[in-house]
Amino acid sequence: MPKKLIKRYMPDHRQIREHKHLRMFGTLLHDPNLWHLNRRSAAGAFAVGLFCAFLPIPMQMVVAAAAAILFRVNLPISVALVWITNPLTMAPIYYFSYRLGAWVMGQSLQEFPGEFSFEQILNGLGSVWFPLLLGCFILSSLSAIVGYFGIRGLWRLYVVRQWRRKRQRSREK
């Protein structure tokens, strides 16, 4: 992967350290491995970020930051990837997760009412929550695995191509 391209779009590490939700990690954010950009840290960050992105919980960014610190992978990439599930994509992703979980469990799909009220949502949540969580876990796990090995493979492919180009240029001289 082109390091320069990724670094161009990454926020400054000082800016992230001072973020109000990440201050709770204190001096843990001073680990230089959280800010390095190499194949291992980028692939691990993609795995962490994609796994956390599909979890149906609030404050996914904090969970992604904690996991990045725990696994010592690139923090900005991990936190940024959580925004795959944003207010525009959240409903389709969680609906797909519910359908996936219901399919794996062999359950029929729950019909949704035409009008939503808070009471209807709470009553319907009892039969929907387990397939939703199962589908989210499957989607999180698969996306983390594909992201990890995909980034490692793309990074390796880029490095091999760079070496071949360099070798070709040296032969031409």
Instruction: Give yes or no for residue 31 having a pLDDT over 90.
Output: no
Instruction: Tell me whether residue 17 is in a domain.
Output: yes
Instruction: Tell me whether residue 126 is in a domain.
Output: no
Instruction: Give yes or no for residue 7 having a pLDDT over 70.
Output: no
pLDDT in tens, 126-171: 678 889 999 999 999 999 999 999 999 999 999 899 999 989 888 8
Counted residue by residue, the chain has a size of 173
pTM: 0.78
Instruction: Enter the DSSP assignment of 106.
Output: T
Instruction: Tell me whether residue 157 is in a domain.
Output: yes
Measured distance CA(109)–CA(157) in Å, rounded: 42
Strand, coil or helix: what is 36?
Answer: coil
Instruction: Tell me whether residue 92 is in a domain.
Output: no
Instruction: Give yes or no for residue 21 having a pLDDT over 80.
Output: no
First-last CA distance in the chain: 27
pLDDT of residue 8: 65
Instruction: Tell me whether residue 61 is in a domain.
Output: yes
Domain that holds residue 68: 3-87+140-172
Q: Tell me how many domains the chain contains.
A: 1
Instruction: Tell me whether residue 118 is in a domain.
Output: no
Instruction: Tell me whether residue 19 is in a domain.
Output: yes
pLDDT in tens, 105-125: 988 877 665 565 666 656 666
Q: State percent of the chain over pLDDT 90.
A: 46
Q: With beta carbons less than 8 A apart as the criterion, state whether 39 and 156 touch.
A: yes
